[in-house]
Structure 1
């Protein structure tokens, strides 16, 4: 199979009816024993010597099911153990390491349309995805629910799913159990979905205290028509409370932690298939309901919304009192020399990373650090022993630089800080004079592994990322030195409470 001599999907589809007919443990084991024998002899090559430079990371690895499964005969367990000890050592036919970091990529797969009326066709898709996660997701060991239990929960629902929507809902529920903010699930448009409508509230919002607070106006005229302002508080959408949405969507959204979940949820709640949406607001202690028209701003109102969302921002500037500010979401490597020249004599620089940086870590860390320092180490899948991961490589920041920046370094983070944001924060922490201010980040780092299945696209964190001492950032995120969360009152008053707290710290050291 690993050499590509068999169509492994077809092998599964051929064997499932035989499994269905098995009525006893003995019959079940015999089906599998005969299947293994029919695939041909396995050459004895063990014991397999592991290269001296390979250091295993084993927290994801567990093959105890080979011997502990109560449905397996001793003969079947023995055959499976023999396969493990004499496992294939050539180039894998169905999986390969992608890019320089070796996160998993599926190759030579046939993605037939799943038949939603055929149990085995649906099971094939579920088994394929579940096994990709089982063997190649670096943070399986950090899931709140064991991945085996998720499969047990999922299978009956898969069998019952009779339509594409039902089936993909089951998949979303399964995937949500991965607890990984990188993980997404996108269904491709089809004859049954291409007519789906997406209408948008004319502003962005943030969930605070089980309410949505308007944080940014995206369509000025649309917001003005309904008197929508930053700081407005939404309590219901179409008679459903935000608290209801939080509970209802929990098993359909995959996130590493609660902060990331609420951030993803806010984006979903502010989209509706209907043009006409009833929205309840809380203003000055009174509830007010508005019948609103939401628009597809990727269509007739595209230019207005785009203009609203792209208000001019400075790449870097002074905030006063000789304090520099850098917007990490828009500054690029070519802008770094000018930023350094402008801010090098400042008493502090605030790096706002409540966004997604543009690969500027190296240039900035060479400015901040007095010497080269390691800031991240990695695990990646080991294809010579599927299921195992190995420690592989590290990344360093900075260089020998006696003229490095001597002022305070402040990094602002929140739930929108994901992946490269978190990784860059780890990098800046090595400067020695860095203080992290804000709230819990998204808790998902490392390159993503992406998969195009027939009908949907999905992705998850592809490699493990850790501090040099082995501390995890997955699910935890980057822990702030000073925790600050925006409040409804602060947003209503137009304050940036996280930045304000940073300015207090710069002046007082507290």
Structure 2
């Protein structure tokens, strides 16, 4: 038995069966999906601890059954909060990457903040003093997370996003439809200029804020929207998405516009690949883009602007570093290089900005030291310490920034960030006018490199 999230999403318990002369067979144990998961054995029987509940694992059915336990006890939050405060302080004291604690007296910080312990009236108060104390380190990757049943709320509001952008000066008239959104589906046929007049058969009151019609305690499974187009009314039904999913579509639109800009400026000679973060999923998409859209181009822009980090810098740099060392062919066939993909044989530019952080900064550092090409943009965020963490008595979590990251000549990247080879800013005016000086500079740099 093992715990893995290799199929994406939450972690699950997996069973691998080994038999002589047969390939190993791995199967998921159902109903074990959680990020708070453990496997235990008692009297040669397997058990799982899932979100604080004990389950027996049935290896025949690949399922679990909950063991109902009832153990009455008294709980004093004030005592718990005090214990958690000192444990969190001690964990950081033992694990913070810099033994000088960024120049502060960490023991003095404990004394400064422990005086508030007798006055904590809620979990929110505990979060405040612990995160304020961690903030004294002036370091990234610090945080204290805590949620308790006493804080659960009965009501919550959800936004049902349709994929429609309405006109700024006419909030019920369609301006445009976002690509890939629920409204961007075959047969919907909603056009710019159409005016929203009803939702689920209820007429719109133009005096009411439009967003109120799309907010409810539960995410809507379906919305019926009626639009006026001249003298004709049109009703369409959609399955709305969350506001988070809608923002992701806007991000994808930005990437698509960048790729179109590069194609236009370079006459499709330069490939463009953007990484949103440095997760495994993002690296997988990077490899798909590199081996489909980008590998046949004469140059390459790798865009790490707004990248929020992760831990795949070595994989990205290893791939970008590949150069051809031989070629082969079948009789009367065409020569192909080895390796099949050799990005470093062509000009490469890496884009960063002030919101490129964490593992994106390590990637930019490695790109410069390996001399793979020019880094263009602005100085990075200065937000890179590799992190572990510790769970406290009630399941609360404290991050532990434990591994400092340094350049080969000893600079602490957490403090210095990455300075681009060519400094180019993108202003608010540029954004409003749809310009991107960083991409424009990158294209010029590659086209110049292609002449050499």
Calculate the TM-score normalised by the size of structure 1: 0.47
- 1:163 to 1:471, Cα distance in 2 relative to 1, 3 A: same
Q: What does residue 173 of structure 1 align with?
A: 132
Q: What does residue 477 of structure 1 align with?
A: 417
Deviations 1:217-271 (A, max 9, x none): 98746988389999xxxxxxxxxxxxxxxxxxxxxxxxxxxxxxxxxxxxxxxxx
1:351 aligns with 2:295: no
* Equivalent pair of 2:376/2:442 in contact (CA under 8 Å): yes
Q: What does residue 434 of structure 1 align with?
A: 373
* Equivalent pair of 1:331/1:358 in contact (CA under 8 Å): no
CA distance in 1, matches of 2:444, 2:163: 31
Q: What does residue 463 of structure 1 align with?
A: 403
Partner secondary structure for residue 302 of structure 2: strand
Q: What does residue 315 of structure 2 align with?
A: 362
1:143 aligns with 2:102: yes
Partner secondary structure for residue 319 of structure 1: helix
Q: What does residue 323 of structure 1 align with?
A: 270
**Which of 292, 299, 310 is the equivalent residue of 2:219?**
299
- 1:139 to 1:474, Cα distance in 2 relative to 1, 3 A: farther
Q: What does residue 194 of structure 1 align with?
A: 153
Partner secondary structure for residue 82 of structure 2: helix
- 1:291 to 1:331, Cα distance in 2 relative to 1, 3 A: closer
Q: What does residue 69 of structure 2 align with?
A: none
Query: Shift in Å at residue 401 of structure 1?
Result: 11
Q: What does residue 88 of structure 2 align with?
A: 129
- 1:351 to 1:403, Cα distance in 2 relative to 1, 3 A: closer
Q: Structure 1: which 5+ runs fail to align?
A: 1-111, 203-216, 231-289, 372-398
Query: Shift in Å at residue 360 of structure 1?
Result: 7.1
* Equivalent pair of 2:157/2:216 in contact (CA under 8 Å): yes
- 1:149 to 1:192, Cα distance in 2 relative to 1, 3 A: same
CA distance in 2, matches of 1:345, 1:427: 24
Q: How many residues align?
A: 296
Query: Shift in Å at residue 132 of structure 1?
Result: 0.8
The residue correspondences of 1:202-281 to structure 2 (distance < 5 A) are 220=165, 225=171
**Which of 371, 393, 411 is the equivalent residue of 2:350?**
411
- 1:168 to 1:226, Cα distance in 2 relative to 1, 3 A: farther
Deviations 1:365-411 (A, max 9, x none): 3443559xxxxxxxxxxxxxxxxxxxxxxxxxxx9999662333211
Partner secondary structure for residue 499 of structure 1: helix
- 1:198 to 1:458, Cα distance in 2 relative to 1, 3 A: farther
* Equivalent pair of 1:410/1:437 in contact (CA under 8 Å): yes
- 1:339 to 1:188, Cα distance in 2 relative to 1, 3 A: same
Query: Shift in Å at residue 412 of structure 1?
Result: 1.5
Calculate the aligned-residue CA RMSD, in Å. Answer: 4.5
| Larger relative contact order, structure 1 or 2 (CA cutoff 8 Å, min sep 6) | 1
- 1:503 to 1:163, Cα distance in 2 relative to 1, 3 A: same
Partner secondary structure for residue 469 of structure 1: coil
CA distance in 2, matches of 1:418, 1:201: 31
CA distance in 1, matches of 2:302, 2:101: 30
- 1:298 to 1:428, Cα distance in 2 relative to 1, 3 A: farther
* Equivalent pair of 1:408/1:434 in contact (CA under 8 Å): yes
CA distance in 1, matches of 2:138, 2:369: 28
Q: What does residue 503 of structure 1 align with?
A: 443
Partner secondary structure for residue 115 of structure 2: helix
CA distance in 2, matches of 1:146, 1:345: 56
Q: What does residue 156 of structure 1 align with?
A: 115
* Equivalent pair of 1:449/1:459 in contact (CA under 8 Å): yes
Q: What does residue 487 of structure 1 align with?
A: 427
Query: Shift in Å at residue 347 of structure 1?
Result: 4.6
- 1:172 to 1:226, Cα distance in 2 relative to 1, 3 A: farther
